[in-house]
Chain A
Amino acid sequence: MSRDRPLELTVNDQPVESAAPEERILLDFLREDLELVGTKRGCDLGTCGCCTVWVDGRPTLSCLTLAHLVKGRSVTTIEGLAPPTRLTALQRAFVEHGATQCGFCTPGFIMTASALLRDHPHPSRPQILRVIGGNLCRCTGYTKIIEAIEAVAREST
């Protein structure tokens, strides 16, 4: 393993001054170094979407991203989406619609779908299907996840 190199970035709106080897994966950096374990590790190969975070607001697979690649940029994880103890409208909808069963894919879905709703408050069904196509859920058959996203879209002004 190579030597640690300084790494400065913003995580959940807080400046972080840390250090990590060149090859440190962003997912490991978040989970192991920063103890932000809400971001999940499902496959390590970019196929399941459980590790989705935002980099400068854009959904990104943290298991395929080197930590040093996001140097100086802003990373948002599930922990930074809303103030602690508060839920966003989408998080509430996931709860009310039963869009989470085992819950392991949920943080990734929330990150992906929150970005979609932020940029397109009234997405079409095909748009939703395309965007969440990079996230794998083995429990719900996606039905209630789509319902939850559409419920938020309906309520948004």
Chain B
Amino acid sequence: MASPTPPSPTGPFRLLGHRIPYVEGPLKVTGRAEYTDDLRRPGMLVGKLLRSPWPHARLLSIDTRRARAMPGVVTVLTGERYPTPFGVLPITHDETAIAVGKARYIGDILAAVAAVDELTAERALTAIEFHIEPLPEYADPRVGAEPVAEPIHAPGLRGSNVQKEVVQHFGDVDAAFAQAAFTARVRCRFAGVTHAFTEPLVTLAEATPDGRLTVYSATQVPHYLHRTLSEVLHLPMHRIRVVKPEVGGGFGGKSDPLPHEIACAALSLETGRPVKMLLDREEIFYTNHGRHPTENVVRIAMDRDGHLLAYDIEALLEGGAWSSFGTVTTYYNGVLAMGPYRVPNFRYRGRRVYTNRPPSGAMRAHGGTNIRYSIEVALDELAEHAQLDPFDLRSRNALPPCSTTINQFRITSTSFLRCLDAARRASEWDTKFRCLPYGRGVGLGCGFYISGSNSPIHFTPVMPQSTVHLKIDMDGGITVHSMQADIGQGSNTLLAAIVAEVLGADLDRVHVQRVDSDVSPIDIGSYSSRVTFMMGNAARRAAEEIRARLVNAAAELLRRPPSELRVGHERIEVADQPQVAVSFLDALHKAMENSGALTASGSFSTQKLGGDFKGARAGTAPAYSFAAYVAQVRVDSETGMVTVEKVWAAFDCGRALNRLAVEGQIEGAIHMGLGQLLSETMNYRASRLMNPALLDYKILAPDQMPEVEVLLVGEDDPEGPFGAKEAGEGPLVATLPAVANAIYDAVGVRCRELPVTPDRLERLVRARRAEGYAWKEDR
């Protein structure tokens, strides 16, 4: 298949590949970075939402008269005013900004108030009266997978609450199992977890008398918000302006267009005044869209020589009240099993079931985390049965570069074997595995993740996934516009560095402008680990266009053909006589003699990938990341406390363009993955979330964070910008199984239910001892 971009320069690079401090760092460390809640507008009202105390109820009537009559209350909105359904995926529009007809979970939005201050708005909420009919409450997806009396949405399969069912079969799984020498079967249960970004959800909307609406919001996907506002509020997109100030973390939790964003905009349209809506932490937990509570069963067949023969996977996902990204999640929980190993036969059945709980959605390493855990734990068991070292089992089955999986994923670059090699050596695996004393252990877990979803969510109109605009005027400053959303991952820095690298310019010449749909060309946003790959290619193309014009201008000044010139640091020079040169500014001023400011646009479109069967697009990506992590743990068998001492994280992100940012992504992803494994849980009693607060939702504290040794061993990807692939989500997935397998090595128990809290682990250890056989003590 032809490469979609010209070959990347191979370096050496002046900036890329080094440690590049984030360009907005000085603003963030001084408190000068501007987040949505830092903005205020004259005459601004406060928006507040009334949330359902009922998990499932028919709304018979709503009386807002008393609330409206209160002094200081400007308007009260209920669902009927803007009832157009929406959702992040065009095929599953099942949300409304404010509930229409039914409340579907505790926390569902029933009404919105705009008032002159917060206290008045909150008092107005308490004055709204409802008549409701309670409906049966569905908290258990196993119940909802069967026919139910009162489906939460339009009835799914056989009158159930099933939102999506995926069935795929490639090859012949049953035949493969019939000839297998070794098989493993693992059933795991995963509690839901949530993003817990530090910046609250917040939106400021301002409708103006010129018929326009400006919406500032803490979003990681400004473009989908823009589309959704237009659909629900019935305003053409060109009359809506979406601005993304700094965003204090997203991890997927700010990627859906969220109902409060629409409700806030609606309040502004109704009142003609600016309205700010800041959600409190409890509301953010209800908004959720975190990782799906999941139960999966993974069966793996392997031959006598340690070659994998088949995967047979079932997954039951608890979707909560809305679809969100759930159709994609349902596919991902199967198809993201298709790497990093060659699997010749594959069968998957996945179901996602609505429940009367806060919606599940996309969270960092979306759809790839829970299935990865079960597979890597099952492989650890298989290795033990077959008396193979876990590394050897994996290297024997590694997907080769330039190959195709059985479900037709195109694999281009993979440095998975280098990851295995690096992790094995750095961790001194061969002296530790099954050799450390009881209570201490090492474990291996591997990873595979998409470097950007190949398919955009919207197909109309046909357009690139990313576009970047550059402008350079006589001052020599390089202005960059793009709707890519920096949410802390460092995409602005990468964008600036790519432009500066191509142009030979100092980094301080480049100014990446705040996302503003009036001026930023569309990039579809920060999700699916797509930004480095897609925005990076778009930025490189835009910069190369400017570079060509600068080189041509320099050629005129130097009276040399452009082919003899090259771009140096802040200058353009004759390649074999570098002392003969013109400065960046001289070349620029020459180039703009006739045209004025230089402008250029670069874009990146994905080509069609994948097969022609139903669901073939799910999981296709222009490249994939690979990982091999070794974790070393200490387990206190008396208390069940796990101390993760160290993680060796070998990762293939192609060429790491900003090592500082890649390390930061890996360290942060490990912290988040450890949280899901060891302590984080959305704790429900039936439909009620019991811990909607950061005090009770246990994120690991600084003293629980292990030492991390980052091993970047990726070779250049042929299509990634300068050889790069993603490093945002893939670094999470290997963490959980590496630690779980290390716990097994330490105390001989398998963790099937997450999180692995001390009480659970202590029970497992005690049960194993009660069975009367020792683990390692006797070795």
Contact = CB atoms under 8 A, between A and B. Distances in A.
A67 interface: no
Interface stretch (A3-11, A54-62, A139-147): A139-147
B181 interface: no
Contact of A139 (B26, B200, B664, B694): B664
Contacts of B197: 102, 104, 138
Given A45-B281, A45-B693, A101-B668, A129 B30 contact: no
Interface string A117-141: 0000000001011101100111111
Contacts of B668: 101, 138-141
A140 B664 contact: yes
B701 A101 contact: no
A146 B708 CA distance: 13
A103 B694 CA distance: 18
A100 B487 contact: no
Contact of B200 (A1, A41, A145): A41
A43 interface: yes
A129 B702 contact: yes
A139 B488 CA distance: 8
Interface residues of B, number: 54
B699 interface: yes
B42 to A, nearest CB: 14
Contacts of A133: 701-703
B143 interface: no
Nearest to A35: B40
Contacts of A140: 664, 667-668, 671
Contacts of B669: 141
Contacts of B24: 103
Interface residues of A, number: 51
Q: Is the interface of A mostly helix, strand, loop or mixed?
A: loop
Contacts of B200: 41-43
B703 A130 contact: yes
B199 A40 contact: yes
Contact of B198 (A45, A48, A78, A146): A48
Contacts of A137: 198
B702 A105 contact: no
Interface in B693-708: 693-695, 699, 701-703, 705, 708
A38 B28 CA distance: 9
Interface string A47-75: 11010000000000000000000000000
B138 interface: no
B344 interface: no
B203 to A, nearest CB: 15
A25 to B, nearest CB: 11
A17 to B, nearest CB: 22
Given A44-B280, A96-B21, A103-B33, A141 B28 contact: no
Interface in A86-109: 87, 91, 94-98, 100-107
Contacts of A48: 198, 694
A79 interface: yes
Nearest to A137: B198
A79 B199 contact: no
A1 to B, nearest CB: 6
A101 B488 contact: yes
A43 B693 contact: yes
B37 interface: yes
B678 to A, nearest CB: 14
B663 interface: yes
Given A136-B694, A139-B664, 11 more contacts: A1-B119, A40-B35, A40-B199, A42-B198, A79-B31, A104-B249, A106-B31, A126-B703, A138-B196, A138-B672, A144-B664
9 contacts: A38-B30, A38-B32, A47-B695, A48-B694, A98-B661, A102-B249, A106-B29, A144-B664, A146-B702
